[in-house]
A and B are shown apart, each in its own frame.
Chain A
Amino acid sequence: GAVVSQHPSWVICKSGTSVKIECRSLDFQATTMFWYRQFPKQSLMLMATSNEGSKATYEQGVEKDKFLINHASLTLSTLTVTSAHPEDSSFYICSGDRGRGNIQYFGAGTRLSVL
């Protein structure tokens, strides 16, 4: 299957700082990329969907000014958590696909801890 690389795998930061998470599709061009968040013992919740060169579409309840998404190319999307607070501590997972109806490939996730 195709590979999605996510970096970093683990990050610890102080409250009030910003953190950037990178998501790369290594061997395919991702028409669309997705960002999910998972709290302990819970399921994955979709945060936003992005297409290359377009503004991201955020799910209801997700603050677009706190979670900045940039989809600069068909192989790279970034999620920046701005002014992070302890309640933003979570597991963030990115995903990409080649288009609707196709399989979605997932990165290994980034565990964010905000102190």
Chain B
Amino acid sequence: GIQVEQSPPDLILQEGANSTLRCNFSDSVNNLQWFHQNPWGQLINLFYIPSGTKQNGRLSATTVATERYSLLYISSSQTTDSGVYFCAARNQAGTALIFGKGTTLSVSS
């Protein structure tokens, strides 16, 4: 099956800093999603982005499908951005999203 790798595993920032989270995947994908998991465990869907670029406020994401990676950008980070960010991907043969191990982001004031 598809392999999904995220980097860095941990990221510590000061409030106001920008950050880039990376997701590499091992196969062509028909689905790629970025999530933020809140302290109660709920997955908040940030982007559905199997290819291209999208922006939503301070967050944006880019997937370069031909090179098998996706990037999540967080600008002007806030303490409320803290938490775990997951990338998950599905290839043509798969039926379900497969998750990376996540990036734990800590933003301090």
Which residues of A are interface residues toward B (Cβ below 8 A)?
1, 32, 34, 36, 38, 42-46, 49, 57, 91, 93, 95, 100-106, 108-109, 111
A101-B31 in contact (CB<8A): yes
Partner of B99, one of A1, A32, A44: A44
B99-A105 in contact (CB<8A): no
In chain B, what residue has the closest Cβ to A36?
A: B99
In chain B, what residue has the closest Cβ to A42?
A: B101
Interface residue B52 (Cβ < 8 Å from any Cβ of A)? no
Contact residues of A: prevailing secondary structure: strand
A43-B99 in contact (CB<8A): yes
A109/B101 contact (C-beta < 8 A), A32-B95, A49-B95, A49-B96 known: no
Which residues of B are interface residues toward A (Cβ below 8 A)?
30-31, 33, 35, 40-43, 45, 48, 50, 86, 88, 90, 95-102
Contact residues of B: prevailing secondary structure: strand
A34-B45 in contact (CB<8A): no
CA distance A103 to B90 in the complex (A): 10
Name the distance in Å between A33's Cβ and chain B's nearest Cβ: 10
Name the distance in Å between B57's Cβ and chain A's nearest Cβ: 16
CA distance A1 to B43 in the complex (A): 13
Partner of A111, one of B41, B48, B99, B100: B41
Name the distance in Å between A57's Cβ and chain B's nearest Cβ: 8
B41-A103 in contact (CB<8A): no
A43-B101 in contact (CB<8A): yes
